[in-house]
Structure 1
Amino acid sequence: MSFDVTGIKMFGLPGVAMALLFAAGGSRGAETPAASPAPETPATLSDVGAGGRDFSVTSADGTQITGQVDVPMSADGREPVIVLSAGTGLFDRDVNFGNSGTERDAVFADLARRFTQAGIAVVRYDRRGVRYKPADGQVLDKAVSGTSTVESQRDDLGAVYDLARAEFGGPAACIALLGHSEGLLHIAGLAAANAAAPDLVVGIGGPLQAPADVFRWQSTERNAFSLRMMDADRDGTVTEAEIRTNWQETPSSLVGTVGALLHPEGQWTPEALDQQVVTLTGFYEAGKTQALAIDPEAPFPNTETPMAEYSWWQNWYTDDTPVAEKLSAWDVPFLLYYGTKDSQVRYEYQQPAAAAALGGQVEIHILPGLGHSLGSHALYGPMDEAAADALVARTAAILNERCAH
């Protein structure tokens, strides 16, 4: 499958194949390092400096998953714990997914600092096949990264979650799961598999619709949706002046240039917008046919930079079960955050899905002017400082209330 910079985008990462490895800080020309040996015991711990410990744990298929736990300065072994689940990409535990050029681009590392300051221990882990800050510079273990599937990502999170429940914060401690983007799908997979319920689920830009519905919207309707957002006078026609004034506050601002959104004739009529959706739907259907014809066990996107088996990619076309329906197996609070210019999921579509399956268990926050990672960009971080602080404070308040009972 080919990818277009201004076309298909995936959760938490542009659909451009070149970007897949960049998210993990690797280089496309890197040779495959030897696979890490499986640990001798189901889980091992080691110190990584003041306030933190490294860990390794074995997933259901025997793959070693590595990560770290960050603990508050005042840790006494009974503090609340939150496990962080990353979105799409070859991410290590820090989740470098920002464009500011600062240390805050490490979105999960930044969140970990804030959570520990609030008295909450943080557990974060490396995606299978991604080596954390390797001395030899070989970030990607291709033999392992290419084994990733929908099921293995659920199981990897499950192994980390089980370890967190047993080892970090004490068995009686409150525990939360936080998913950014596709990370919420992995959490939903645990719920559907009857895993032990946490005390709280937190989502950042997380889909609640079926994956197939979300991906179809990204592929066929996002641009028209954004252009209609630019229609300031609501007359149905989007002029060049309206686009130039408003484009940066819409999902399609992720294209990075206003020129890609302008119509050759100077304006978008309702008919032209409808036709754009029809045209993109044709491309989507062709891509779907091509994707589903490929061996599910083939490497995606290719053998040079494998991040999963092709079955994972195919799932975005075929999984029509709402994520919220899977999450409903847990009778726990759900704390969800969305930005108004999120390029990957639209809160207008996630709210009805939440209401239908989760009802009064959900608390949803819609943050004006923020994107998929709750930053100023439609897709990338770093997270807005005030948004990050508010999310951490609300999470802490819920966990402290539940831990008190």
Structure 2
Amino acid sequence: MLVLAASLALAVSPDPQPFAIPSADGYVLTGEADLPEGPSRGAVILVAGTGAFDRDASFGRSGTARDKLFADLAQRLNARGLTAVRFDRRGVRHGVPPAEIIDAAAAPTVTAENLSRDVGAIYDWTRSSTGLGARCVVFFAHSEGSAHVAGVAAAGAPEPALVIGMGAVLESKVSVLRWQGTGRDADSLAMMDADGDGVITNEEIRANWTKTPSAVFERLDPFLHPTGAWTVADLELLRANQTALFEQQKTVAMTMADEAPYPNAAAPAFSWSWWKSWLTDDEPLAARYARWSSPMILHYGSLDSQVREDRQRAAAEGVLPATQVRFISHPDRGHSLGTETLLGPLDEAIADQIADEAAAACPG
């Protein structure tokens, strides 16, 4: 059941405190609460995005300890008197050899609904007197993690003190996936039109492609046009062709059994039910967050390959009060607020800024 060596009120040890918490369906979530050296002023629950992430959220290739995004943030939060609550996504094992990280038996249960319920279970425990007993709780959500936190809001959970997002989604899951599949490349090409004349030359592409969302694929050749330039008509045709392919792939996906392993039995990271949610869930996440009046601070990088800030601003308009949501733009930073379009580590100044925001929400 619930395992923790010390309550938040008595936390004076800098050592991580392991926990095991049953989710709504009985699956046991594992993780750790990283405690500050003195009394804790509050707790920050860190929720990772898409992937087989354990509590460290390793998502970089710098070769340094800072590639472990959540472990790095935890240290910064601890330094400000906050407890960092980090957990292993269901179906993911921590501290084992790479070949043993994925628990294939759990794959059928890795659904969108369960992932939100898991975050809800962590939240309940963090606030509970049998858990951390935290009176001030902040959510930090990266990418898809924002969908899971939105699910907690939709379930009617008490309001947190603050929601901090990094590349967070406010549009619907269908909308963001459709853009990734049918709009990202055309939008990226349009961004390469340096002189704004409606014609994107191969010279402009070579000069600008690394500063666009499609740079995530790290391939220049597909964007070079055989005639030497793209026109507006070419971009429209590209969108149409990718839309047709997207619809074909959606049709195939919807024939798969919900409980089947996704993407396949050899790499069972999720269930097909989870993937189908990205093809069918068309409610904007902003509407789910609107059930809370908690302030939100959302950070976006201009190089973000997965989620675009302008689309999230549009999704929030008329749904979330402008006084509730603060958008922060970071030039030349990506989805994980580092120098790459997708991967971390976080820019150190931004990581400290996020930790300061959390601390300000829990003044103690």
TM-score, with structure 2 as normaliser:
0.94
Partner of 1:166: 128
Aligned mates of 1:236, 1:374 — CA distance in 2: 30
Partner of 1:62: 26
Go from structure 1 to structure 2 and tell me whether the alpha carbon gap of 1:238 and 1:263 turns closer, same or farther (over 3 Å shift). same
Aligned mates of 2:345, 2:277 — CA distance in 1: 29
Aligned mates of 1:204, 1:274 — CA distance in 2: 31
Is 2:88 aligned against 1:129?
Answer: no
Match of 2:117 among 151, 155, 159: 155
The answer (yes or no) to whether the contact 2:48–2:141 under 8 Å persists in 1 is: yes
Cα distance, 1:379 vs structure 2: 0.7
The answer (yes or no) to whether the contact 2:44–2:358 under 8 Å persists in 1 is: no
Partner of 1:385: 348
SS of residue matched to 2:117 = helix
The answer (yes or no) to whether the contact 2:42–2:136 under 8 Å persists in 1 is: yes
Cα distance, 1:137 vs structure 2: 5.8
Q: Cα RMSD over matched residues?
A: 1.7
Aligned mates of 2:99, 2:220 — CA distance in 1: 37
Aligned mates of 1:164, 1:199 — CA distance in 2: 13
Partner of 2:3: 44
Go from structure 1 to structure 2 and tell me whether the alpha carbon gap of 1:227 and 1:259 turns closer, same or farther (over 3 Å shift). same
Matched AA of 1:70: D
Matched AA of 1:373: S
Aligned mates of 1:200, 1:298 — CA distance in 2: 36
Partner of 1:27: none
SS of residue matched to 1:208 = coil
Matched AA of 1:328: A
SS of residue matched to 1:306 = strand
Matched AA of 2:262: F
Matched AA of 1:71: L
Cα distance, 1:371 vs structure 2: 0.7
Unaligned runs of 5+ in 1: 1-40
Match of 2:41 among 79, 97, 117: 79
Partner of 1:365: 328
Is 2:307 aligned against 1:307?
Answer: no
Deviations along 1:102-125, one digit per CA (max 9) or x if unpaired, are 111111111111111122110010
SS of residue matched to 2:18 = strand
Moved beyond 4 Å, runs of 4+: 167-170
Q: How many residues align?
A: 357
Matched AA of 1:218: Q
Cα distance, 1:339 vs structure 2: 0.5
Partner of 1:374: 337
SS of residue matched to 2:350 = helix
SS of residue matched to 2:149 = helix
Cα distance, 1:377 vs structure 2: 0.8
Is 2:288 aligned against 1:291?
Answer: no
Is 2:80 aligned against 1:114?
Answer: no
Cα distance, 1:170 vs structure 2: 5.7
Partner of 1:179: 141
Matched AA of 2:3: T
The answer (yes or no) to whether the contact 1:146–1:307 under 8 Å persists in 2 is: no
The answer (yes or no) to whether the contact 2:166–2:298 under 8 Å persists in 1 is: yes
SS of residue matched to 1:178 = strand
Cα distance, 1:311 vs structure 2: 1.1
Unaligned runs of 5+ in 2: 7-12
Aligned mates of 1:296, 1:137 — CA distance in 2: 25
The answer (yes or no) to whether the contact 2:125–2:131 under 8 Å persists in 1 is: no
Aligned mates of 2:114, 2:98 — CA distance in 1: 27
The answer (yes or no) to whether the contact 1:130–1:145 under 8 Å persists in 2 is: no
Aligned mates of 2:136, 2:191 — CA distance in 1: 41
Cα distance, 1:243 vs structure 2: 1.1
SS of residue matched to 2:326 = strand
Matched AA of 1:188: A
Aligned mates of 1:168, 1:368 — CA distance in 2: 43
Match of 2:300 among 317, 321, 338: 338
Q: State the identity as a percent.
A: 44
Aligned mates of 1:167, 1:247 — CA distance in 2: 52
Partner of 1:241: 203
Partner of 2:315: 353
The answer (yes or no) to whether the contact 1:81–1:169 under 8 Å persists in 2 is: no
Go from structure 1 to structure 2 and tell me whether the alpha carbon gap of 1:170 and 1:102 turns closer, same or farther (over 3 Å shift). closer
Is 2:17 aligned against 1:53?
Answer: yes
Partner of 2:9: none
SS of residue matched to 1:335 = strand
Aligned mates of 2:293, 2:274 — CA distance in 1: 28
Q: Which moved more, 1:294-303 or 1:178-187?
A: 294-303
Aligned mates of 1:95, 1:194 — CA distance in 2: 27
Aligned mates of 1:196, 1:398 — CA distance in 2: 16
Deviations along 1:168-222, one digit per CA (max 9) or x if unpaired, are 9964621111110000000000111101111111111011001000000000010
Deviations along 1:134-173, one digit per CA (max 9) or x if unpaired, are 2796222211133210111011111111111125996462
Matched AA of 1:44: V
